[in-house]
Amino acid sequence: MDKHDPKKLVASGYDQVVDTYLRQFGHSTVRQRKVVELEHGLPAHARVLDLGCGAGLPVAHDLIARGFKVTGVDGSAGQIERARRNVPEGQFIQADMAAVDFPLESFEAVGAFYSITHIPRDEHAALLQRIAGWLASRGRFVGSFGATAVENWIGEWLGTTMFFSHHDTEVTKKLIIAAGLVIEKAEVLQQDNEETRFLWVTAYKP
């Protein structure tokens, strides 16, 4: 593991905590509500991108169960291998979600649940622009972001070493708008399974 490369650090960390993460964070009423917001108004068999899909549970699994076509992206080989076993109907790609490439307007919805906070914050603007490009017209985006500014935090988390990085809420909202998305809802919510607050944004491509 290269401790100077935050993305390799994140991928290695998640390789080590596949089962631990699911046990501790697999159920979240906040995430359940936000998946419902992501689904709202989607046509049957809509194409959905799950950025930071982890082991495919619960998001990819639940979306496919409701008839959507899901592509998941995660940097962790261990998580992707588990996702392919847990959700064989999905398409799962091991890749840096800030660098993965899809054609324009490939998806009717993009979700990023607890994942963008693991990307260096100086890459957030470009990632949001890419997300906007991947969305079809009127496509929906739902994502969680840090509620306060953290430049580059590295430390112990779930028994492994992890990296977090994010802007404050106002900067994040400005970046989303600058990417060409229209914000429908932005709210800071306390998690029900950890002592952490996230900024949750629901937006669409006009």
**Residue 172, token pair as written in the block:** 């994040």
CA–CA separation, 69 vs 30, rounded Å? 23
Tens digit of each residue's pLDDT (9 = 90 or more) over 95-121: 999 999 999 999 999 999 999 999 999
Q: E strands within 52-196?
A: 69-74, 91-94, 107-112, 135-146, 150-157, 160-166, 182-190
pLDDT score for 3: 57
Which domains are seen in the chain, by residue range? 6-204 (3.40.50.150)
CA–CA separation, 16 vs 154, rounded Å? 16
Tens digit of each residue's pLDDT (9 = 90 or more) over 120-157: 999 999 999 999 999 999 999 999 999 999 999 999 99
Q: What would the mean pLDDT of 175-191 be, rounded to a whole number?
A: 98
